[in-house]
Amino acid sequence: MKHLLGIAALACAVAAQPALGSTGAQWPERPIRLVVPFPAGGPTDIAARVVGKALSDRLGTPFVIENKAGAHGFIGASEVARSKPDGYTLMMASIGTMAINPGLYPDIPYDANKDFMPLALILTVPIAVVINPQQMPVQTVGELVDYLKAHPDRVNYGSAGNGGSSHLVPEYFKYKTGTSMTHIPYKGSSPAVTDLVAGQVQVMFDTLLTSTPFVKAGKLRMLAVTTAQRLPEYPQVPTMAEALGAPDFEASSWFAMYAPTGTPQTVQQKLSSAINQALGDAAVKQRLAELGAIPAGGTPGELEDFQRAEQRKWRQVIQAAGILPD
């Protein structure tokens, strides 16, 4: 009798945990959905497609990119937060989604720190001050400041949308320099850069992921980068700290991968390991370097600490510059 009860108890225990095998040792068994909360063609989408392909090769299953754009990234992030935590829905998120939105918007439909499990920081991307040389007769940041002061509210700057780095960094620039520009938000970086090249807007503080091809083609002029040091690929371009004499003016965009909270630890560990392996691949590093991106990597814990530090930093910038959501 005791033997039969033991078998029954074991059977119940196994039946009660059917998901552990499918999302643990045997994961992945089907395609993985990688949600991008922004339009196709933008920097988050580009990062997702490069890294998603590398992860597909390593894990032996397709990574299907789904663009769920709209509402400052709220739509895509909220969908992932509500998704079944089985390892088959992931998110490629940006600095705006995870670090800026929590400090800029009083009420957002997800909790950046509680609704997601961090996997790894994917890459950082320098932000460049780029202008349309046909529209703006300036060669340096100093000349840009002088031009803006001589033409208050006559210059439009484009952004990938309210609340992202391409919105907050130029607002901080205005605060630091006492200048004014009119913000023209777009639904993603790609249409904003397209209009910058066409002359509909005159300035952008854009990631190199989307502006590099146009800079190399001579259609845009790069005045400065917002990184702490000059970039090896553009040694002649000064940092914003150098151009303004403001050593605290430093910012980079970044992208990281997350899973819904509750995803099994074994899946989190497998994904984090695979991401770090992918970012260490020579072909992936070369492709990202061509796009102006810097591979990152690291552990889930390191991403969590980095995210919270970024939230503190951008909350301070938002408060100091008096930035309000448009």
Instruction: Name the pairing type of β-strands 32-36 and 203-207.
Output: unpaired
**Mean pLDDT value of segment 55-67:** 95
pLDDT number for residue 24: 57
Domains, the chain, ranges and CATH?
32-124+253-321 (3.40.190.150), 126-244 (3.40.190.10)
Q: What is the pLDDT of residues 267-317, one digit of tens each?
A: 999 999 999 999 999 999 888 887 778 899 999 999 999 999 999 989 988
Backbone angles phi, psi at 63, to 5 degrees: -105, 115
Strands (E), the chain: 32-36, 63-67, 89-94, 116-131, 156-159, 182-185, 203-207, 221-225, 252-260, 294-295
- Quick one: which of 299, 303, 312, 253 has its CA closest to 94? 253
Identity of the residue numbered 130 = V
Q: Is the pLDDT of residue 192 over 90?
A: yes
pTM score of the predicted model: 0.80
| 116 DSSP β-pair partners | 260
Q: What is the pLDDT of residues 139-163, one digit of tens each?
A: 999 999 999 999 998 999 999 888 7
Instruction: Name the pairing type of β-strands 203-207 and 116-131.
Output: antiparallel
pLDDT number for residue 59: 96
- Cα separation, 22 vs 28, in Å, equals 8
Backbone angles phi, psi at 278, to 5 degrees: -65, -45
Q: Is the pLDDT of residue 15 over 80?
A: no
